[in-house]
Structure 1
Amino acid sequence: MSPLQLGLIVLGVVVVAAVLLYNRWVTSRLQPRRARPAPADGTEDRAQEAAAVAQALHDRLEPVLGDDTGAGEPPLAVSGSRQSPATALPLLDPQLDAIAQLTADTMVSGDAVLAALPGTRRIGSKPFFIEGQNLATQAWEFPRSGQRYTCLRAGIQLANRMGPLNEIEFSEFVVKLQAFADALQLAADFPDMMQEVARARELDQFAGAHDAQLSFTVRATRAAWSPGYLTQHAARQGFVVGALPGRMVLPAAQPGAAAVLVLQFETQAALSEDPDQAALRDFSITLDVPHVARAERPFVRMREAALALAASMEGSVTDDGGQPLGKDAMDRIGADLEVLYDALEARQLPAGAPLTRRLFS
């Protein structure tokens, strides 16, 4: 074999090897990044255990402000807080509700009230609630079995994110409540419909002008991420796995408060049979401003979390439209939020308060 032939063979082997290595490198670059194995010292295990404990605590304490699931006793003011019904704070408030007074000639038993309650917690798009003044404690509470009440009251919410209370909803409230009062032989005193509808429209206008739901998007600038890779990095920023697939939350410091931030990624990827092969190119971090107390510093934490995750995962922070968000843009958003917080507090509806969360729901 001549030196030329030998050289060509060697060159061919080198070229083939180079092509194979290049293809392997390209393939590895295109595969989603995976979560790293836990360190031998158990640090990652301890972090995951702490996250699991935090999530369990969050699930146990997260408030539930009611739903439209149908019959039964109206929910407690903060049902997830594990308060006993006797200590639960009433939901009704003149600032947010149109309230009707219900009086009786004699005491009314809690069992009778519970039996006569309407079979829904909503009228149209508005929740309504019934409370009684406990004979023994003189405190307003949701009706309870075995208790007696001197008088009762009912209210329907004036406004929420579905809009203001209208004449049809108010009329249906009157009809339902009158049937409830007749069943218990109560005298019902209703507020003026036109006055309450006008209050509802004014409150809705205020809410519409002071509502804010912010969202940052973190987009991959190089390789995609697997759900496990994203979850691992988000856990280091304090996020814990949420109740829904593709959702993580940053719990609040105050027990029973709403999550400070919500991290959301594609549900289909979260439910993939092989999560290591599922590819994510972006995820969002959302702040529902009226639901989170100002003291939690939610926007500062949102900004820090988004930038930290973008740096550690080789991504960039953008708005919903894909436009990069720089320091100046984030500073302007932060300044605007301070003005919004001031306006909510001036209206006695501070961010994160139960009434505020009801209004912006």
Structure 2
Amino acid sequence: MEILSMSDLQVSLIIIGIIVIVAVAVFNWLQQLRYRREVQAAFDHEHDDILLDTHHSDEPFQRIEPKFNKKMSSESGLDSLPQTGDQFDSSPTETNKTSIMSPPAHPPFNTTQTSAAISSATTSPLLDYDSNTNYIVNIRSESVIANTHIAKLLQRKFDFGKPVYWLGQQDKNEPWEEISTESNVDSDGYCHLKGCLQLADRSGPISEVNLSKFRDLVLDFASQVNASAECPDIVSTHEKAVMLDKFCAEVDVMIGINIISKDDGAFVGTKIRALAEASGFRLETDGLFKYRDEGNNILFTLNNYESSPFLPENIKSLTTHGVTFLLDVPRVAHGERVFDQMTHLAKIFSNTLGGIVVDDNRVPLSDSGIQKSKQQLLEIQTSMKNNHINSGSPSALRLFV
């Protein structure tokens, strides 16, 4: 009888356990359903599509103020299109900046912005590589340089501290094309080569030693294949790299908007995820929700205000006192439109989560504060454009990494 009694107890416990598990699953499902209904209600009102509505670009600049997270290290680099000289105007730094708390890691991030740049790059890769932001060498030969020789150049592309890109022309009347290891194998060789060594990136300017190493490689290669080589002066190029890096450090800015909970409350991970996915974000393996355009370029990210990332495996059990929207200014074209889109979503998050939009000091952000930040963004991107550096362009995406 005692053994039978123990068996009945075990069966009862198993049944109770199953009931609890089912109850929790149903509760979570109902919570998700309720959150999604709340999100849907928030989106039921018709809103202009800020990214597509060209009217916005004609409106006068307004003043805003969420906060800036400025990378102060002089370890930036940018690219531009036509060469205009070696002077870089860093006037945007004279504006009054604020700063936002940034999460432990962020990817750097664009919009229909890049589509124009990409289409132009498709026309000719030369548009992406200029001597203002690259050390460009030319190798010319009367005969075709075999792809087996060019393969040796490609093997050395990571030896100089900064990225190297090779462009080739199979004949003087043929279009330029970017040479990769794969495309080189399929080619019959090239008679004209351009080597483009990037002058700077977020880790700083290229060193004079690496410039010299690259020049020596090119001269040795040209002599081996009986070609002529044109290599710009090393000292003046290094000075240009330092100036470029200094300018890039001044415009290397992130704009962020914090949403924190009220009265020391907390936001639950399941509700954040439901709201984010309904808004168009996608949670990626690095723990960031990323809002991308149709070209898969990052426009802005949604990060945990606290140190823990939104890891997919932990999101169900996660709670946090806030979230942060981040926009990487140099990597996004038409930044004012993207900024409007981001602030629009931030307000929806704030209303749906029951949070407060604040700055780094946890002071509520006013509309005038938000407008001040938007104005600063416009000034930064205008300065980049004036220096022939287009934010969100393929070259900017290469340099701001």
Q: Which amino acid aligns with 2:158?
A: R
Q: CA deviation at 1:339?
A: 1.7
Q: 1:34 to 1:304 in 2, by over 3 A?
A: farther
Work out the percentage of aligned pairs sharing the same amino acid.
22
Shift of 1:148: 2.9
CA separation in 2, counterparts of 1:192 and 1:216?
45
Is the contact between residue 261 and residue 356 of structure 2 (CA under 8 Å) also seen in structure 1? yes
* 1:117 correspondence with 2:113: no
Corresponding position of 1:285: 325
Higher RCO structure, 1 or 2 (CA under 8 Å, sep 6+): 2
Q: Provide runs of 4+ in structure 1 moved above 6 Å.
A: 38-41, 85-88
The TM-score normalised by the length of structure 2 is 0.63
Q: Which residue of 2 aligns with 1:188?
A: 229
Give the alignment's TM-score, normalised by structure 1.
Answer: 0.69
**Structure 2 spans left out of the alignment, 5+ residues:** 1-27, 44-113
Question: Once structures 1 and 2 are overlaid, which stretch shifts more, 168-177 or 192-201?
Answer: 168-177
Gaps of 5+ in 1: 1-31, 48-77
2:303 aligns to what? 264
Following superposition, the deviation at residue 191 of structure 1 comes to 0.4
**1:135: how far off?**
2.2
Indicate the SS of the match to 1:260.
strand
Within the candidate set 203, 211, 218, 1:177 is matched to 218
> What corresponds to 2:207 in structure 1?
166
Aligned to 1:102, the other structure's residue is in SS state: strand
* Amino acid in the other structure paired with 1:314: G
How many Å apart are 1:349 and its aligned residue?
1.6
SS in 1 for 2:259: strand
2:170 corresponds to which residue? Answer: 134
SS of 1:349's partner is coil
Displacement of 1:203 in angstroms is: 1.9
Determine whether 1:317 maps to 2:313: no
Could you say if the C-alpha distance between residues 158 and 270 of structure 1 is closer, same or farther in structure 2, counting changes exceeding 3 Å?
closer
Larger mean CA deviation between 259-268 and 32-41 belongs to 32-41
Match of 1:352 among 382, 385, 392: 392
For 2:251, give the aligned amino acid: H
Task: Please point out which of 142, 148, 155 is paired with 2:189.
Answer: 148
Give the paired residue count: 291
> How far has the Cα of 1:108 moved from its partner?
1.2
Aligned to 1:18: none
Give the counterpart of 2:244 among 194, 199, 203: 203
Deviations 1:277-296 (A, max 9, x none): 32222222110111111167
Show CA shifts across 1:51-70 (max 9, x none): xxxxxxxxxxxxxxxxxxxx
Letter in 2 for 1:232: A
Residue 115 (structure 1) shift: 4.4
Q: More deviation in 172-181 or 309-318?
A: 172-181
Q: CA deviation at 1:182?
A: 4.7
Shift of the 116–161 alpha-carbon distance from structure 1 to 2, 3 Å rule, reads: closer
In 2, the alpha carbon distance for the partners of 1:247 and 1:274 equals 12
Whole-Å Cα distance in 1 between the matches of residues 312 and 262 of structure 2?
Answer: 23
Residue 37 in 1 paired to residue 33 in 2?
A: yes
Q: Distance in 1 between matches of 2:36 and 2:352?
A: 22
Per-residue deviation at 1:36? 1.4
CA contact (8 A) 2:118 2:393 kept: no
1:338 and 2:378 are equivalent in the alignment: yes
Q: Answer with 297-306 or 213-222: which moved more.
A: 213-222
Distance change >3 Å, CA 319–CA 33, structure 1 → 2? farther
Asked if structure 2 preserves the Cα contact closer than 8 Å seen for 1:316 and 1:324, the reply is: yes
Deviation at 1:111, TM superposition (A): 4.2
The alignment partner of 2:213 has SS state of helix
Please tell me whether the aligned partners of residues 227 and 269 of structure 1 are also in contact (alpha carbons under 8 angstroms): no
Q: Deviations over 1:174-217 (max 9, x none)?
A: 23334444554433221001221122222223222222111222
The one-letter code sitting in structure 2 at the alignment partner of 1:197 is H
**1:234 aligned onto 2:276:** yes
Which letter maps to 1:37?
L
Query: Which of 135, 138, 150 is matched with 1:101 structurally?
Result: 138
Do the aligned residues in 1 keep the contact of 2:118 with 2:394 (CA within 8 Å)? no
1:227–1:276 contact (8 Å) kept in structure 2: yes
